[in-house]
Amino acid sequence: MSMEGKICMITGANSGIGKATAMGLAEMNGTVVIVCRNKERGEPALKEIIEKTGNKNVDLLLCDLSSLDSIRNLATKFKNKYQNLHVLINNAGVMLSKRVSSVDGFEMNFAVNHLAPFLLTNLLLDTLKRSAPSRIINVASAAHKLGTIDFEDLQGEHKKRRFMGLYGDSKLALMLTSYEFSRRLEGTGVTLNTVHPGVVNTNLGVDRSKPKKGIVRRFFKTAEKGAETSIYLASSPEVEAITGKYFINKQEQKSSKDSYNETLAKKIWDISIEMVGL
């Protein structure tokens, strides 16, 4: 399968699933734009992808996805350099068990896992539509099933901490707006699907203790295995017309009951629009 002539952007591509996804699409001869937080991590990943795939059409753009201004700068830089965008993979994510605030004052899980892909996708929609047929893939998590949307405490300032609470909340918000995106994009030639990559050995959960991470990660998937469904959704002709679905291991699956609540989706959409200043 060839991705020649296709321009793909992947966030969080300096390691883990993101880098494995970038590697896979570069091997298919796609033009791959990797988005990383800084040069120190991004440049070695860029060099490795080019050397291992032999594909010189790999580019690096820098962005701090916890900053709304940095996301806006990323979209501007991309548009100044590229006329088209055929695949956008919102892969970057964090998993913090304690509440940390972003530079904009948002809870960090919510800022990176939900607001960042929401803003970036909206900023690149005109380019995606112009490039249609095009695809958006949002890397979600089965942890969305543990999430709740509490409009009285959306930033998790007051509620008791549940297992995976802040992370699950952010991934449920991502799922809700992903489905809302797919409804709003009907008829444009732009599809949007979500993926749970499985439990993968990545840098997520970096605030957990080393012994716990070491014990658990023996049972994790490799990054390459975790990237397979994202690559499939980005490249396979089988899913070209499919949109608004949730995939695990290249198969459509049901997400949580709450994630299909259209009233909830519209409300979180409107609040997110206000939060990111669109």
Give the number of other Cβ atoms within 10 Å of residue 177's Cβ: 25
What is the structure's pLDDT at 213? 47
- pLDDT tens digit sequence for 52-105: 999 999 999 999 999 999 999 999 999 999 999 999 999 999 999 888 999 999
Residue 198 pLDDT class (50, 70, 90 cuts): confident
Peptide linkage before 211 cis (omega within 30 of 0): no
Query: H helices of the chain, where?
Result: 16-27, 39-53, 68-81, 108-110, 116-130, 165-184, 210-217, 223-235, 262-276
What would the two tokens of residue 167 be?
A: 């992370």
Q: Which domains does the chain have, with CATH numbers?
A: 7-276 (3.40.50.720)
- pLDDT of residue 201 exceeding 70: no
Q: Share the mean pLDDT of the chain.
A: 92
Contacts of 22 (CB under 8 A, 6+ apart): 8, 10, 13, 32, 34, 45, 49, 58
The pTM of the whole model exceeds 0.85? yes
Start-to-end CA span in the chain (Å)? 38
- pLDDT tens digit sequence for 116-143: 999 999 999 999 999 999 999 999 999 9
Residue 236 pLDDT class (50, 70, 90 cuts): very high
Q: Looking at the annotation, which residues are catalytic?
A: 167
Taking the C-alpha atoms of residue 75 and residue 122, their distance in angstroms, rounded to an integer, is: 10
Largest Cα–Cα distance in the chain?
Answer: 51
